[in-house]
Amino acid sequence: MTSSPRRVPIPKNGVDYRGKVVLAPMVRSGELPSRLLALKYGADLVWGPETIDKSMIGTSKRINPVTSTIDYSRVSSNGGRNPSVPLKESNIYRLHPAQEYGRLIFQIGTSSPTTAVEAASLVAPHVAGIDVNAGCPMPFSTSGGMGAALLQTPDHLASILSALVSEVGSVYDIGISVKIRLLETPEMTEALVRKLCGTGITGLTVHCRTTPMRPRERAIRDQLRMIADVCRHEGVACVMNGDVRNRDEAQQLMQEFRVDGAMLATAAEANPSSFRTMEEGGLLPWREVVQDYMKIALDVDNKWGNTKFTLGQLIPGKLQVYRKVTRCKGYTEACEALDLNDLLDQARAVDERLSISQIPEVAAVSNAKSKNKTAQAAGGRTGVERSSTSETRPALSERGVGRSTATAALAL
């Protein structure tokens, strides 16, 4: 009699990554409105953006009565320099307990078992899992011993996971997982995966690139079957990440490489309706996606700066409306530029709550700036030219992301 494959038990408040097509953790593109939109279009799970453990420790948690969200915030580190200016709170993490229930994975940036446990415990009652970022190659992460730097210290990474499993996962009945990159050789990758799977984690995601590689370089899938086999033997769900363009392709790749799940990253950043199957209609027109996104962003009082960034990814960069939106200073102006007249009243209310002023700069202020030598040295014409350049840069949709499979294949 053939025995069934071993599986690490999924805690009662956790979620099994098997059979799931999910939103990858992305800085700026993984904030609450983007996650809710991905779920609306069919994402099975969503990862929040990497949040550093030390930034969570010391935050205040409150239920926002206007947005029905749970907000973790702290007084800005820049506050207090001018006693006459009221201290402002910075929102560190925001989640929607109703709409994200059972589908949100909190990704943590950490280099310490102690601070990882302390930070994860704050959010654990409201998420379906905690995921450790062991793949970010950016200096802000690796310089602190986090992200991809952890791949060079596998015993230390394993100790972080073990601590989270025993002191957070077991306490709150949620799963602990890790996201890694490929190492220099298949043998090194295999040894790492075996070690991490032995810590009690329920899931492992592999970004099919090495640490030095950047997104423009094609993902490497040569080691994927081996990694999936190791995870399967250890009873851990294996999720692939890298150059997955839509749900249909994700399901094909899952079958081809025998992995349990797949992550969408840049494709979802450009057009989150990539989570829809072709049978469901495939990609939606950008205007429909933008309208859905703006409604959600307004519903949760999203920071305008993040909303503006996201609109820059969703709107084709060659269009006149793209340039209009990049000049907008708040929600009201953006809704007017996008002809979203039915959202104008809500936009004005949100602008007021967020203290967004869209009053044109008065002549006195403009004149003072023109005579400010320090400001000119820091920015001057260079700042203007840089702003002009950024307004006309191609959006993701202009760079082969979020298009149909046939078109995108030609661009790769």
Lowest mean pLDDT, pick from 232-241, 328-337, 354-363, 364-373:
364-373
**pLDDT tens-digit map of 306-339:** 999 999 999 999 999 999 999 999 999 999 999 9
Q: Among residues of the chain, what percentage have pLDDT more than 90? A: 80
DSSP letter string over 144-182? TT-GGGGGG-HHHHHHHHHHHIIIIIHHHT-EEEEEEEE
Cβ(294)–Cβ(338) below 8 Å: yes
> Is the pLDDT reported for residue 408 higher than 60?
no
Listed residue (219, 246, 237, 247) closest to 176, CA to CA: 237
Lowest mean pLDDT, pick from 41-55, 168-182, 381-395:
381-395
Distance CA 232, CA 227 (A): 9
Give the residue numbers marked as catalytic. 136
* Mean pLDDT of the 91-107 span: 98
| Residue 19 to residues 159, 189, 213, 260, 337, Cα–Cα distance (Å) | 28, 24, 28, 6, 40
Q: Among residues of the chain, what percentage have pLDDT more than 70? A: 83
User: Per-residue confidence at 396, pLDDT binned at 50, 70, 90?
Assistant: low
> Is the pLDDT reported for residue 358 higher than 70?
no
User: Per-residue confidence at 143, pLDDT binned at 50, 70, 90?
Assistant: confident
E-assigned strand segments in 48-118: 51-52, 60-63, 70-75, 89-95, 104-109
Give the Cβ contact number of residue 150 at 10 Å.
Answer: 26
Distance of CA 262 to the CA centre of its chain: 15
pTM for this prediction:
0.86
Distance CA 93, CA 410 (A): 38
